[in-house]
Amino acid sequence: MSDTGLSAANLPDIQASTEADGLAQGLSAEEYARAVEICGRAPNLLELGIFSVMWSEHCSYKSSKKWLRQFPTEAPWVILGPGENAGAVAIGDGLAACFKMESHNHPSFIEPYQGAATGVGGILRDVFTMGARPVAILNALRFGDPSHPKTRHLVGGVVRGIGGYGNCVGVPTVGGECEFNPSYNGNPLVNAMAVGIAPANRIFTAKAEGAGNSVVYVGAKTGRDGIHGATMASTTFDDGAEQQRPTVQVGDPFTEKLLIEACLELMATDAIVAIQDMGAAGLTSSSVEMADKGGIGIELDMDKVPQRETNMSTYEIMLSESQERMLMVLKPGREGVAEEIFTKWELDFAVIGKLTPTGRMVLKWDDSTVADVPIRPLADESPEYDRPWVATEPPPALDPASLPPLGDWHAALTELVGSPNGASKRWIWEQYDHSVMGDSMVVNGVGPGGDAALVRIHGTARALALTSDCTPRYCLADPVQGGRQAVAEAFRNLCAVGAKPLAITDNLNFGSPQRPEIMGQLVGCTQGMAEACAALNFPVVSGNVSLYNETNGQAILPTPVVGGLGVLDDLSQAVSIAYTDAGLDLVLIGQGHGHLGCSAYLRDVLGRTGADAGPPPPVDLAAEKRHGECVRALIGREWIAACHDLSDGGLLVAAAEMALASGIGCELVLQDPNTGALFGEDQGRYLLATTRTAEVLALAEAMGAEAQVVGVTGGDALTLNGQHPISLKRLRDIHEGWLPAYADGGIPADV
C-alpha cells in the first residue's frame, strides 16, 4: 500500500494495527483475528477503526439481532419494515407515516444538553431521509433517584437540550414520558421518536445502485466531535465517564432546518438514487450501509470531504459523528441540479466518490489508497452472537393478606399523584413548543399529558395518534409479561383517543448482554413484545437497541420502550381524558381482580420494590384486543365524552387524572372499595365518561367486553361512596407542585 502524497497528518492511519490496538478500540481478540482473516493481513489503523465502529453493538446489533427476528413486521398497511432509516406505513389519502425511535443515552449522561439535542437532530434526519417532512417529536426519559447529586443537573440539561433543538428546528414535541428510579443514577435514558409524512409512492431508501454513480456529501462540514461515539455507546461506564466529552456531538438546529428543506426540495426532482444520514459512525456507517444494501462497492476521496478543522486525519474524517450531514447517490448528470439546491440553502455540497462494482470500500487520499476492505463483512455479515442467557424467575404471587389495611385513601392517593413518578410533567412539556406547524391537536383542553398525542394530517380532517410507553418495574419482575404490557399499553393509549393502532417502533434499553441475567431480560422482553404485536396485529417497523446501560456494574431496569402510531379518520370524533359536563356516568371497561403486584401503590405508598412487590399483572392479549376494539367502536359512535386507560395507580388514580384534566370532580361508587379495587393495576381496562350508558353497556356486552358503571361526574372534589371528599384544588396543588419545586432546587414539604 503506497503512502505517496499523504500528508503527515494521515501517515499514522496507514500503519499496521496489532491485537492490542483492536482491544483498545472495543474489539475482542476473536473479532480482531476475524478482521485480519477478512483483510488477509493486519488491517491498518484506519481500517481497524472502520471494523471497530461497524462491529460495535450500536451499529451491528450483534447480541440482539437473533431475537429481533421474532418480531412480526408485516401488515397490509406496512410499506417498509425494519432495515431502513425509518419504518413507513400507509395512512390513507396516498400518504405514508415514517417513524423511528433512537437512543442517545450515553451522550446525554456525559453532556446532557448536547447529548439530548443531537438525539433529537439524529432522529429527525432518520425521518426526512425517507422523504418525509417531520411533523412530531416524542421523547421517553428516565432519570435516577431525585436525591442523587447528578439527577437534577441531568434533568435540566436534557430537557433544555430537547427543547433547544426541537423548538429551533420548528418541529413540535407532542408527547413522551418521564420516570425516576435509582437504577438510572449513572445512566439516564434519552429515547427520541420522530414522525414524518411523505407521499406513499415516493419513499426514499439507502439502497445504492449504479456503478459509476456519484457519491455526494451535503450539509455541515466534518469536525472532530463525536469520534468513536458509536463505540462509546456500546460500552459500560465507570466513574470517569465525563472524560469522554469529545465523543459527544455538537448540534446546530438552524443548519438542520436548512438541511430538511434542501433535501425535500431535491427529493421533489428525479436526482436521487439513494440517501442516508450520517448518524452513528458518521461517514463510515452511511457509506457502508448504502453500498451493502445495493450489493455494490464504493470509493471515496477523503481530501474532498468538507472539513471545518485543519489537518484532520482520514481516521478522524471517517469516524467523526459531526451533525447535520447526509450522504447521497445521484443519478448520472444530476450533480448540477443538486449542487444548485444545496448552494441556495447555504450548505456544503461535494462529490466525494463513486460507486464501483467491486463490493469493496476503497478510501483514497491524494489518489493514494489508504483503506481497502470488503463491505459485506462490515454490514450484513457482521458478527452475530447467541449469548448465554438465564430466564428471569418471576417473584411468588403476592398475598393480599400480608399487606397492611388501606386506612386513609386520601393519603395513598396524594402520595401517588404527588410522587416523582406520579406527579405532573407539565414543567417539562411546557418548555417544548408543541403547537408549531399548527397541526398539534388539543381535545377538550388537553394537549400534551393525555393518553396519546394527536397531530392533524395537514389539510385533512384526519390525524395521527402517537404514544410512548413502558413499565420497567414490570419488565424487571417478569420480562415476558413486561414486554407484552409495553406493547399492550401503547395499543390502549391509541384506542383511548379513538385511533386505529397501525404499528410500533421500539427502543430496547438494557445493561450488558455479556451478563446472562441481563441477556435473559432482553430475551424475555422481546418474546413478550413479539407475542403482543402478533396478537394485536401491531407490527414492528423500526427500532433501536441500546445495550451496556450500566455504570460500575449497576444495570438499569430493563426498559423496552414502545412508540405506537395509529390513525384517526375523523378528528371530530377524538376524545381525551377530560370530560366537559357534570352528570356523566363513569363506566369501567375490563375486569379488575385487584392485582397489586408490582403496583405503583406498593412502590410509592408501602415502599415495596423488587421481589417484595410480587409479580406484575398478567396480560390477556385476546382481552386487550377485544376491549380496544370495543372502545374504538364506542368512540366512533360518538357515545363517549372522555376516555382514559388504567395504568399506574389503577382506578382511583385514573379517575383523579380525568377529574384534574376536566376541572370537574367525580364520585366513585364501589361495592367493595378495598385496596385492590382502588389501586390494582389489572390490564386491559379503560374508564369512560358517557350519557349513553345503556347503549355503552349493551355494545360492550355484544363485543365480549366486561363493563360496569363505577361513578358519576360532578362537583369540585373526588369522592368515594359519597364520603370524605378531597378537593380538586388540593389534588392539583400536590400533582402539579413536585417537579417545578424540584427543578427550582427543592421538594415540596408535603410530598
- The catalytic site residues sit at 58, 104
From residue 570, give the alpha-carbon distance in Å to each of 244, 445, 515.
49, 18, 49
Q: How far apart are the first and last CA of the chain?
A: 68
Vertex 16: Cα angle to 13 and 19 (nearest 5)? 115
From residue 61, give the alpha-carbon distance in Å to each of 36, 122, 298.
21, 18, 23
* Grid-cell match 455479515, residue found: 381
Residue 176 CA to residue 561 CA, distance in Å, equals 10
Residue 448 CA to residue 112 CA, distance in Å, equals 23
The helix-helix angle for 728-743 and 151-169 (nearest 10°) equals 90
Residue 357 CA to residue 124 CA, distance in Å, equals 32
Sign of CA dihedral 531, 534, 535, 540: positive
Residue 347 CA to residue 340 CA, distance in Å, equals 10
- Among 204, 165, 190, smallest CA distance to 101 is for 190
Residue 547 CA to residue 113 CA, distance in Å, equals 22
Are the CB atoms for 468 and 451 separated by under 8 Å?
Answer: no
* Grid-cell match 415514517, residue found: 98
Are the CB atoms for 462 and 571 separated by under 8 Å?
Answer: yes
Phi-psi region of 219 (alpha: psi -120 to 50; beta: other; left: phi over 0): left
Question: Which grid cell is 691?
Answer: 350519557
Strands 360-365 and 453-456: unpaired
Rg for the chain, CA atoms, rounded: 26
Residue 273 CA to residue 335 CA, distance in Å, equals 12
Q: What is the DSSP letter of 499?
A: P
Q: What is the DSSP string of 230-293?
A: HHHTTS-B-TTGGGGGGGS----HHHHHHHHHHHHHHHTTT-EEEEEE--TTHHHHHHHHHHHH
- Among 113, 97, 116, smallest CA distance to 105 is for 116
Helix (H) or strand (E) holding 380: none
Residue 468 CA to residue 141 CA, distance in Å, equals 10
Are the CB atoms for 239 and 552 separated by under 8 Å?
Answer: yes
Residue 259 CA to residue 265 CA, distance in Å, equals 10
Backbone φ and ψ for 727, nearest 5 degrees, come out as -70, 145
467, amino acid identity: T
Question: Which grid cell is 454?
Answer: 394527536
